[in-house]
Amino acid sequence: MDMPQAITDKRQRPLRDLRLSVTDRCNFRCVYCMPKEVYGAKFHFLPRHDLLSFDELERVVRLFAPLGVEKIRLTGGEPLLRQNVEQLVRQLAAVPGISDIAMTTNGYFLSRDKAKALKDAGLHRITVSLDALDDATFGSINDVGAPVERVLSAIRSASAAGLTPVKINMVVKRGVNDKAVIAMARHFRFTGHILRFIEYMDVGNTNGWRLDDVVPASEILRQIQTHWDVEPIASHHTGEVARRFRYRDGGGEFGIISSVSQPFCQSCGRIRLSPEGRLYTCLFGSEGYDLRALIRDGNLSDPAVSEALSALWGRRTDQYSLERTSQTSPHSKVEMSHIGG
Ligand code: SF4
């Protein structure tokens, strides 16, 4: 099938990447994403009937593929909390034009069987979050005392299932786990897995973000270069979020995602869908566009919905990270735990 000409936004950025948050729930309370003080026992998560069904999500993907979407990433909250999510993977893998289906997970529920079921259903890649290698630091970040070994075991399960190379995301926060950068790098060298260091971001409104807590990419790279000789390598495709590097001694590859110090909005072709069907054209967006109203309540035909999607992307101008300054006025942003990273 010839790839459709991707629609472009007001900054001529082609639409390529659709991120589906399939649940707003998570079993972790990571302090930079879903702090316990806000997401406590009394927090009202979305009722099941508010969530888009697998058939509705499949329809959305069928409508986006002809507009240029090739890559789907399943996120959350924690996507493995959505029951039978492999059935959704199976349905999306059958959509013409979708060449890549990935998932971002905290790994807690990623057993060998689950990893195999996801792979068999058509999942291509998996990214597992791990912010430190010692239980004390990791436990203080996930704030539920989840042990490191549980996540390392998930990475082994993903690898055994052939979801390789496994990517590992580490959010680096000054004074919390910045001293763990070298230990993490050392652990994943020569494993074939790709560790990505992520600058701590001012996502949402609840993580108490301060610029002082950000460890910029240049500092992370300098840390690594004091131990190993590395060189930059070309990105796989336009719009790739991570800057790629490899160890000259053959130790493999790592990446740095620098939304704060070296924004990458110029080539951002990502759109995000929340569990209840609101579209966000930027991770730092506010309102969101109510797609569920069109596909569930409005009974609109596919061409009519497709037109609305094209219009939404066509008027997009988002470039929050490029515009972010210390003067940036805080506006109410959607929570990352709601639309995924
Ligand atoms: S800040 Fe918004 S526009 Fe910029 S890269 Fe992130 S999602 Fe894309």
pLDDT tier at 4, thresholds 50, 70, 90: low
pLDDT, averaged across the chain: 95
- The confidence score (pLDDT) of residue 27 equals 98
Q: Residues with Cβ < 8 Å from 8, sequence gap 6 or more? A: 14, 15, 313, 314
Q: Is the pLDDT of residue 328 over 80?
A: no
Tokens of 222: 């300098």
Spacing, Cα 238 to ligand 1 middle (Å): 14
pLDDT tier at 307, thresholds 50, 70, 90: very high
- The confidence score (pLDDT) of residue 7 equals 96
Ligand 1 atom 5, closest CA: 265
Ligand 1 surroundings by CB, under 6 angstroms: 259, 264-265, 268, 270, 282-284, 318-321
On whether the CB atoms of residues 58 and 95 are closer than 8 A, the answer is yes
- The confidence score (pLDDT) of residue 149 equals 98
Q: What percent of the chain has pLDDT over 70?
A: 96
Region 83-92: mean pLDDT is: 98
Give DSSP secondary structure letters for 213-264.
GB--HHHHHHHHHTTS-EEEE--SSTT-SSEEEEETTTTEEEEEE-TTTS--
All structural domains of the chain, each given as residue ranges with its CATH number in brackets, are 17-339 (3.20.20.70)
Region 50-70: mean pLDDT is: 97
Cα–Cα distance measured from residue 16 to residue 315, given in angstroms and rounded to the nearest whole number: 16
Q: Which of 283, 286, 313, 323 to mutate to test the pocket of ligand 1 (most atoms within 8 A of CB)?
A: 283
- The confidence score (pLDDT) of residue 299 equals 75
Q: Which of 318, 328, 334, 339 to mutate to test the pocket of ligand 1 (most atoms within 8 A of CB)?
A: 318
Spacing, Cα 93 to ligand 1 middle (Å): 26
Query: Which amino acid does the sequence have at 107?
Result: G
Spacing, Cα 320 to ligand 1 middle (Å): 6
On whether the CB atoms of residues 231 and 251 are closer than 8 A, the answer is no
pLDDT in tens, 155-210: 999 999 999 999 999 999 999 999 999 999 999 999 999 999 999 999 999 999 99
**Which of 221, 254, 252, 257 lies closest to 239 in space, CA to CA?**
257
- The confidence score (pLDDT) of residue 3 equals 58
- The confidence score (pLDDT) of residue 297 equals 72
Spacing, Cα 179 to ligand 1 middle (Å): 28
Cα–Cα distance measured from residue 60 to residue 295, given in angstroms and rounded to the nearest whole number: 8
Spacing, Cα 273 to ligand 1 middle (Å): 14
Q: Which of 320, 322, 333, 334 to mutate to test the pocket of ligand 1 (most atoms within 8 A of CB)?
A: 320
Q: Is the pLDDT of residue 327 over 90?
A: no
pLDDT in tens, 126-148: 999 999 999 999 999 999 999 99
Stretch among 46-55, 248-257, 280-289, 325-334 having the lowest mean pLDDT: 325-334
What is the separation of C-alpha 101 from the centre of its chain, rounded to a whole number of angstroms? 12
Beta bridge partners of 19: 73, 272
Task: Tell me the torsion sign for CA atoms 167, 169, 170, 173.
Answer: positive
Spacing, Cα 241 to ligand 1 middle (Å): 10
Query: Phi and psi dihedrals of 203, rounded to 5?
Result: -75, 145
On whether the CB atoms of residues 198 and 169 are closer than 8 A, the answer is yes
- The confidence score (pLDDT) of residue 236 equals 82
**What is the number of other CB atoms lying within 10 angstroms of the CB of residue 284?**
21
Spacing, Cα 285 to ligand 1 middle (Å): 9
What is the separation of C-alpha 222 from the centre of its chain, rounded to a whole number of angstroms? 25
Cα–Cα distance measured from residue 128 to residue 104, given in angstroms and rounded to the nearest whole number: 6
How large is the angle between the packed helices 181-188 and 217-225, nearest 10 degrees?
Answer: 60
Q: Which of 284, 313, 317, 328 to mutate to test the pocket of ligand 1 (most atoms within 8 A of CB)?
A: 284
What is the separation of C-alpha 324 from the centre of its chain, rounded to a whole number of angstroms? 20
Query: Phi and psi dihedrals of 198, rounded to 5?
Result: -115, 125
Ligand 1 atom 3, closest CA: 319
Region 48-66: mean pLDDT is: 98
